[in-house]
Chain A
Amino acid sequence: MSTPARSSGSSASTLAAFAPSAARRRRDRTARGVIAALTALALVPLVLIVYYLLQKGVGSWSGSFFTSDPTGASFFKNVSIGGIRSAILGTIEMVAIASGIAVPVGIGVAIWLVEYGRTSRLASVVRFSVDVLTGVPSIVFGLFIYITLVVTDLLGRGLAGYKGALALSLLMLPVVIRSCEVILSLVPDSLRESALALGAPRWRVIGRIVLPTAIPGMITGILLAVARAAGETAPLLFTVGGANKLSFSPGGQMNALPLQIYNDILSPTTTVINRAWGAALTLVAMILVLNLIARLISRRSRLA
């Protein structure tokens, strides 16, 4: 600004000499257009799903929808076309049991991999196995529980809520291990070293330094695994069955949101099909909340 005469004249011509050609600008515009179009294309199904869910699902939402079972039984007055109370509570209970199994085991494996196994051969075998497990389709976990626990006398025949929870925990386990392993390996080695150099035993370094640093990120990964398990239908189909009535007993058949949707959508009755949409919307909303919580926590993380 202080020397306008000099800067305006010479720098304008300098910039012109460096300007890209018209053809190059056209190519840039085309490439950007293609990328934008592809992005829009990817968003189409997402928007449609949310649109249909809201359009068809919100209509069936009501007070009694959440407080009554498909059988019609309710906390308050019994209704004719029931809601999804047993499905919501069943999903919460089974996912809680599954998390209770998969989370401690998964964290344990992740700690072993990062802190003890490290580059050893056993650790790479474990890592490979976990990767294979991640790629196993969810229905296979259901089948596995079916042939080991449902049709044998090992723990008593028949469908049961805890068997579904076991299938879900198998499904969650590799996700928990992998996400926790990634977060734990993000903890800078310099922290471990300075703690070790203070004369701390390794287990104390893990408990006092590594885990407190990693925990926000680990919770994020765990919540995403929980969200995934909550939406799974296939592992539950032939392990839990799908009782309509409310049951908190994991030893017997239970209801779950994905099962409710699966059963209702096959019905010829419009009101029951609408209930499936309402249940689907509920499930998506629950998973969305989990994701939001995960995001909030990861924002607090000191690592990522």
Chain B
Amino acid sequence: MTPDGSTPKTAEMPSDELLDPRSTPVRRPTPGPAAGAGGASGTDPPPGKQAYAVRLEHLRAFYGSAEQVKGVDLELHANQVTAIIGPSGCGKSTMIRCINRMHEEIPGARAEGRVLLDDANIYDSAVDVVAVRRAVGMIFQKPNPFPTMSIFDNVAAGIRLSGVGRGDLPRKVESALRGAGLWEEVKDRLGQPGIGLSGGQQQRLCIARSLAVDPEVLLMDEPCSALDPIATLKIEELIDELKRRVTIVIVTHNMQQAARVADRTAFMLSGELVEVGLTKQIFTNPVDSRTEEYVTGKFG
């Protein structure tokens, strides 16, 4: 969106010489056995690679002329869960919607600044937005399985819709459903409609649908706010499992939830990032007085 040069932060980039968005794939070559095998080795970061999977650099997001996210700098550590907390309307959801470029789908909405997914700016003009969204999956507040599709087709939809690697669909669907902890519950009724499941199962179906395209990052926008406590617990356990495979960002209104699932927590207020740190530190010994007031329930 913004020309790279206009961001003053560019100079602070740790490995500027590596930054060639035209040849750097959006997909991160993971240290895992399978994913790193692609032809990306030529642009691999050096062995001492950065600890973050995603880095926001002075990210600003607008709805028309209203600035909802006012210059956020944030690093999301790889294979960790980062919780974003803050009062309603503080720009949490808007911010994470900028990480997979869903923000710009809203008429009149735009974003400025840079979002680096392993050194590639996802807002670079050479980057295909479809590739960004394959690499960065998203789970929404309300479970939203595709109503016309069966359980199987819902999970397969991710693969079919993005048009990549259709081979061995049943195996991929099974592995995604297992990954979402739903396989045992639905393996005998894969042909039934996805909307026939309970709310918690539907949300896990949506998670399976996202996992099926094998993303690097999973953005969760209040994934449990429509669920009962037991279903919420299952999702939280699942998040703990999933962080081995993906980097997770979770927006939540529920501070206990943030404390339970997140390795790191970021506190936002009025479109600005107030504080980010280890979850324990944010909740027990915050640096900023506003963070302390929020986590102790004095406002919000």
Interface residue ranges, A against B (CB under 8 Å):
118-119, 188, 190-201, 204-205, 208-209, 212-213, 302
Are B102 and A212 within 8 A (Cβ)?
no
> CA A199 – CA B138 in complex, angstroms?
10
**Given A197-B210, A209-B146, 10 other A-B residues pairs in contact with their CB atoms under 8 A:** A191-B147, A192-B105, A196-B133, A199-B135, A200-B133, A200-B161, A204-B163, A208-B157, A209-B148, A302-B148
- Do the beta carbons of B100 and A197 come within 8 Å of each other? yes
Q: CA–CA, A290 to B213, complex, Å?
A: 44
Chain B residues contacting A196 (CB-CB under 8 Å) are: 102, 105, 133
B53-70 vs A, CB cutoff 8 Å, 1 = contact: the mask equals: 000000000000000000
Contacts of B130 in A (CB 8 A): 199-201
Q: Which residues of A contact B133 (CB under 8 A)?
A: 196-200
Residue in chain B with minimal CB distance to A119? B107
| Given known contacts A193-B140, A208-B161, A198 and B146 CB-to-CB distance under 8 angstroms | no
Whether A302 contacts B102 by the Cβ 8 Å rule is: no
**B206 neighbours in A (Cβ, 8 Å):** 194
Which A residues lie within 8 Å of B100 (CB)?
197
Do most interface residues of chain A lie in helix, strand or loop, or is the interface mixed?
helix
Q: Can you list 29 A-B contacts (CB < 8 A)?
A: A118-B107, A191-B147, A193-B102, A193-B138, A194-B138, A194-B140, A194-B144, A194-B206, A195-B157, A196-B102, A196-B105, A197-B138, A198-B157, A198-B158, A198-B162, A198-B209, A198-B210, A199-B132, A199-B135, A199-B213, A200-B133, A208-B157, A208-B161, A209-B146, A209-B148, A209-B161, A212-B148, A213-B146, A213-B147
Q: With A208-B157, A208-B160 as given contacts, are A197 and B137 in contact (CB-CB < 8 Å)? A: yes
CB proximity to A under 8 Å, residues B196-219: 206, 209-210, 213
- The 8 Å CB contact of A191, one of B108, B137, B144, is B144
A192 to B138, CA, bound (A): 12
* Distance in Å: Cβ of B142 to nearest Cβ of chain A: 6
Contacts of A193 in B (CB 8 A): 102, 105, 138, 140, 144
Q: Return A299 CB to nearest CB of chain B, in Å.
A: 16
CB B132 to nearest CB in A, in angstroms, measures: 8
Interface centre among B148, B206, B209 (most CB of A within 10 A): B148
Q: Which residues of A contact B140 (CB under 8 A)?
A: 190, 193-194, 197
- In the bound complex, what is the Cα–Cα distance between A193 and B213 (angstroms)? 16
Min distance, Cβ A44 to any Cβ of chain B, angstroms: 43
Bound Cα distance from A201 to B128, whole angstroms: 10
With A and B bound together, what is the CA distance between A37 and B144 in angstroms?
Answer: 47
